[in-house]
């Protein structure tokens, strides 16, 4: 399986994405934690999804290899990410795609479903943001909202986002740390975190009830960031939704329990799980 690295102009934003496989499009959207990007979040999932789909994993604006405009001229809020993702799908000539969003990526998938419903056919929300539950950022999220740009700080970020007992490997720590050595990346992350603390990731509950696409809500049982009551509330609000709770798992089901998570997504999308 070959995973290619590519760029496309999404309404003026040079946007990086990874691609592998053939078939109907499946878009994977990473979260917003310190050091997040398409490769770090989804690299282990390509082998599961690419035999069935044309898998496309973009870096959101301000992350990875995608443009990082100065916070002096660009607001790193959720509406901006929604617009960028819709622009990316337009630039790729995609409509009616299945989308998988982790955390902030889930909030972005929701935003596209609300603003441009014709672009999406199905959603998977994994540890998704989008509702103010808990009412304020949890202690597990503190390490990423106040990331200090050190290797030990990155280790704390990973520990906060995973289930108790998860041991981050040095390679993972170093990869995520190096992504934030660039000054533009640092400024973008600080701007993202400032907006996150304002609560701009959240949607009006009444609007969520208007999403008609089928939705799979996935949550780690030990997720201390997107806690189980948030997943249950999504299930109450989204009319065509199913739930899948992953045991022994924190906020990163695609990393902590890759086979279980990918199998659930494949079954939801009507494909055989390995």
- Structural domain boundaries of the chain? 4-268
User: pLDDT at position 135, please?
Assistant: 82
Scan for tokens 């603003």, then name that residue.
Answer: 115
User: What percentage of the chain exceeds 70 in pLDDT?
Assistant: 100
SS3 at position 75: coil
**Is 251 tagged catalytic?**
yes
Q: From 162, 197, 196, select the one nearest 176 (Cα to Cα).
A: 162
Q: From 166, 191, 169, 260, select the one nearest 219 (Cα to Cα).
A: 260
**Is 241 tagged catalytic?**
no
SS3 at position 270: coil
Q: Which of these ranges, 10-19, 116-125, 127-136, 255-264, has the smallest mean pLDDT?
A: 127-136
CB 25 within 8 A of CB 58: no
| Diameter of the chain measured on Cα atoms | 47
Segment (H or E) for 219: strand 215-220
Segment (H or E) for 258: helix 258-268
**Is 103 tagged catalytic?**
yes
Terminal Cα-to-Cα distance of the chain (whole angstroms): 16
CATH number for the domain whose boundaries are 4-268: 3.40.50.1820
Catalytic residue among 16, 48, 52, 251: 251
DSSP summary character for residue 43: T
Pairing of strands 120-126, 97-102: parallel
User: pLDDT at position 134, please?
Assistant: 84
C-alpha span between 252 and 267 (Å, rounded):
19
Catalytic residue among 67, 87, 223, 260: 223
CB 26 within 8 A of CB 98: yes
Residue 224 has pLDDT above 90, yes or no: yes
User: pLDDT at position 198, please?
Assistant: 86
Q: What is the average pLDDT value for the chain, to the nearest integer? A: 96
Catalytic residue among 103, 128, 226, 241: 103
What does each C-alpha distance from 87 to 73, 82, 90, 107 come to in angstroms?
Answer: 19, 9, 5, 16
User: pLDDT at position 197, please?
Assistant: 86
User: pLDDT at position 62, please?
Assistant: 98
What does each C-alpha distance from 255 to 71, 96, 152 come to in angstroms?
Answer: 30, 27, 20
pLDDT in tens, 35-89: 999 999 999 999 999 999 999 999 999 999 999 999 999 999 999 999 999 999 9
State pTM to two decimals: 0.97
C-alpha span between 180 and 184 (Å, rounded):
8
Q: Which residues contact 47 (CB under 8 A, 6 or more apart)?
A: 1
Retrieve residue 229's tokens.
């009551």
Segment (H or E) for 260: helix 258-268
Q: Quick one: angle between helices 170-179 and 151-161, nearest 10?
A: 110
C-alpha span between 204 and 27 (Å, rounded):
25
Per-residue pLDDT, averaged over 128-145, amounts to 88
Retrieve residue 116's tokens.
């441009």
User: pLDDT at position 44, please?
Assistant: 96
Q: Which of these ranges, 9-13, 59-63, 145-149, 266-270, has the smallest mean pLDDT?
A: 145-149
User: What percentage of the chain exceeds 90 in pLDDT?
Assistant: 90
Scan for tokens 């992953």, then name that residue.
Answer: 246
Binning pLDDT at 50, 70 and 90, where does residue 192 land?
very high
């Amino acid at each position: 399986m070959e995973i290619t690295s590519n760029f496309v102009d999404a309404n003026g934003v040079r946007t990086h994405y990874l691609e592998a496989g053939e078939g109907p499009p499946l878009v994977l959207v990473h979260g917003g934690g310190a050091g997040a990007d398409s490769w770090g979040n989804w690299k282990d999932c390509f082998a599961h999804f690419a035999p069935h789909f044309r898998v496309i994993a973009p870096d959101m604006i301000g992350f990875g290899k995608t443009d990082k405009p100065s916070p002096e001229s660009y607001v790193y809020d959720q509406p901006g990410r929604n617009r960028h993702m819709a622009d990316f799908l337009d630039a790729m000539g995609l409509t009616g795609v299945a989308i998988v969003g982790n955390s902030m990526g889930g909030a972005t998938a929701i935003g596209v479903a609300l603003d441009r419903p014709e672009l999406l056919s199905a959603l998977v929300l994994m540890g998704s943001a989008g509702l103010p539950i808990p009412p304020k950022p949890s202690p597990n999220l503190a390490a990423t909202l106040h990331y200090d740009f050190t290797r030990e700080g990155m280790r704390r970020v990973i520990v906060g986002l995973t289930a108790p007992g998860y041991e981050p490997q040095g390679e993972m720590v170093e990869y995520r740390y190096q992504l934030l050595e660039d000054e533009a990346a640092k400024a973008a992350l600080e701007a993202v975190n400032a907006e996150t603390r304002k609560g701009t990731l959240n949607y009006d509950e009444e609007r969520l009830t208007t999403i008609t696409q089928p939705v799979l809500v996935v949550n780690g049982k030990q997720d201390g960031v997107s806690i189980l009551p948030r997943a249950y509330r999504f299930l109450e609000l989204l009319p065509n939704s199913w739930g899948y709770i992953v045991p022994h798992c924190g906020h990163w089901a695609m990393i902590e329990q890759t086979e279980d998570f990918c199998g659930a997504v494949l079954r939801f999308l009507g494909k055989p799980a390995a």
